Structure formats: structure tokens, C-alpha cells
Structure 1
Amino acid sequence: MTERSTDPYVGFRFRISLGHIEIGGAAECTGLESEVKVFEYPEGGVNTHLLKFPERCSLKNITIKRGLTQSYDLYDWYLDVASGSFDHDNQRPAGSGTSGLGNENDQSVDKKISISLIDSSGETLKEWVLRRAFPVKWVGPEFKATDNVVAFESIELAHEGLERLD
């Protein structure tokens, strides 16, 4: 069966780039979410409704879950941040261009943290870049002698915004 341009994309083909960390095959990626908060104002004499105004945008942390491997890269990255010795390799400097991503010649673009939806041939369909992302939580595997499942680790990333790349 061939894909049509009107067919919705499937959510199980995705790629995650964490800059200098090779993520490999991730099992899940959640939290790709942004919401505008609403300020409600009761105007005097208007009893039928509240006036509503947009406020700041609220961003959800991104959680990435992958099968546990020999690599300690995600855990080490989290420990760097937790210990304060974080060298900001994966953070774009604030004010580097209007989007925070820098320009095409900027070395930090190569270290971007991104989530890409891909097609069956591996081509990128949609891509979102996390602005100034860093890990805030690491969760190790759960061990149960009665289960025969893959051991997973997950990392939660805080960020300052989502950029859409086209």
C-alpha cells in the first residue's frame, strides 16, 4: 500500500538527537506540548461572560525512554547538571539569533536537541528543536524477577521553547 499526501503520519517512526549524545533507538518520547495560559477578566457591568486574554506560554518537560544499553551517556549528562559541572554543550546560548538556534554556520546548531518524525525511508517529515534543554530527572530500570521485559531508562528534559524546522 502506498502512502498518500493526505494520510496522517504514523507516530512510531521518530528520531531523537541529543547533540553529542547518541540516543540510539528510543522507545517513547512524550511531552511535546505547549499551552497558552489564559487571563480571565470580569469587566464591570458585563455579567454574561468573562473577558479572556492570552498570557504566557507553558511548556511541558520532554520525557525520552529507551532500552538500557552499556552506555552511561544519559545518566552522566544528568549527573553533570545535578552536580553543577554542566558545560552547556547541549545548550544554545541565549540571544544567538532571533530563534535561539543561531545561524547555519554556528557550531551550536550541530549540537541541537531535536525530535523528528520520519517516514518509512528515514526522511524527516517534521522536526522540533528544544531551545536550551537540559536534563532534570533520570529514571533507571525496574527489576522484577518474574518479568521477561527489556530494561528501560528515561530522562526528562526541561527546555525554554520548541522551534519548528521546515
Structure 2
Amino acid sequence: MTTPALRPEDDDPAVGVCFVVSIDTADEVVPLGVFNSCEGLGIEIVMETREEGGNNAMVWQLPTRIKYSNVKLSRPIGPDSAKLTTWFSGMVNGVTPQTAVIQARTMKGRVVTEWSLFGVIPVRWTGPSMNFDSPKAATETLEIAHHGITAKAGS
């Protein structure tokens, strides 16, 4: 009896991952769709250096604040692209920070992990470059700023 060969997505959940994004508005949870690239999920503790008089052997490194980098999500354009335009146009009369959830999923739909981002504000949307000479897939990129990130419990 032979054992079936494991496919990459079966033994390593980080292979073939897509990112499902949704935002919480005041009234409902709005799914923004599936993205195939997610960059910039990160937290940095900003350090301040202090030199102590008479102590030449070291410089003190003191933590001061936490900094969160912007997140960039990319995907080929499709039916969900209109959701980004709607979200941005809703900011015309005032920007209201929202909560977003980014789920990393396998191609079979199993959630690998997810992150909640607080105080989310859309910063930039970049649409596809339309060039007859370049037969690349038309992609769009969403960039969001936020004020905090936590891993969802159980992830």
C-alpha cells in the first residue's frame, strides 16, 4: 500500500496563501474581497538612545513608542474592485477610522491565521496600468494605515 503524496498546501499552510479582507463599518461588516499579496504587516518599537556621562562602555537603548507600518494589498482587478472605489468615495465627507480583519487562507479556504487592525484608514488605491505593449494581468493595490494590530484568538 502506498501513501498518497502530500501536496505543498497540505503540509505547509504558507504555500499558496490568499488574503481575505473585510472592514467593519458602523452598520455592517463589508467584505473587500480576496487579495493575492499582503505586504507591510509589522510592528516596530522605536528606540531612543541616551548617552550617560562618564560611562563610555555603552549607550542606553530606551523604548519610546510603537509604530505600525502601512499594509499594501494587491490583486488582479475583478468584480470586487468596485468595493474599494465605494469605500474610498465614502470618505469624501469625512474620514472615519474602522476596524479591518485580514485572514490568511489556504487555496482550499482554510484559515491559517488572521489579524485585526484598529483605526484603519485607506491611504491609497492604485489601479491597473493599461498598456497595449505589456500583456500583464491588470492589478490593483490598496494601501491602508492603522493604529494597532492583534492576532485573532485561536490563530
TM-score bucket of the superposed structures, by smaller chain = 0.7 to 0.9
AA aligned to 2:60 is L
Which deviates further from its counterpart, 48-57 or 65-74?
65-74
Map 1:1-166 → 2, pairs under 5 A = 1-2=5-6, 9-10=13-14, 12-19=16-23, 20-70=29-79, 71-81=81-91, 83-86=92-95, 88=96, 91=98, 112-119=99-106, 121-165=108-152, 166=154
Count of residues in correspondence between the two structures? 140
Tell me whether 57-66 or 10-19 shows the greater mean CA deviation: 10-19
Instruction: Please give the TM-score of this superposition, normalised by the length of structure 1.
Output: 0.73
Query: Between Structure 1 and Structure 2, which shows a larger proportion of strand residues?
Result: 2
TM-score by length of 2: 0.78
In the TM superposition, residue 15 of structure 1 has moved relative to its aligned partner by: 2.7
Question: What is the deviation of 1:8?
Answer: 5.8
Where 2:32 maps in the other structure, the secondary structure is coil
Distance 1:153 1:27 in 2: 11
1:121 Cα deviation from its structure 2 partner: 4.1
Q: RMSD of the alignment, in Å?
A: 2.2
Percent identity at matched positions?
24
State the Cα distance separating 1:131 from its structure 2 match. 0.7
Q: Distance in 1 between matches of 2:73 and 2:133?
A: 25
Asked if structure 2 preserves the Cα contact closer than 8 Å seen for 1:16 and 1:113, the reply is no
Q: Provide the rounded CA distance (Å) in 1 between the counterparts of 2:127 and 2:106.
A: 30
Write the distance in 1 (CA, Å) between the matches of 2:16 and 2:62: 37
Deviation at 1:73, TM superposition (A): 1.4
CA deviations on 1:37-68 (whole Å, 9 max, x unpaired) are: 00111011111210111110111111111211
Cα 1:118–1:27, aligned 2, differ >3 Å: closer, same or farther?
A: closer
Is the 8 Å Cα contact of residues 118 and 125 (structure 1) preserved in structure 2? yes
Where structure 2 has 5 or more consecutive residues not aligned to the other structure, the ranges are: 24-28
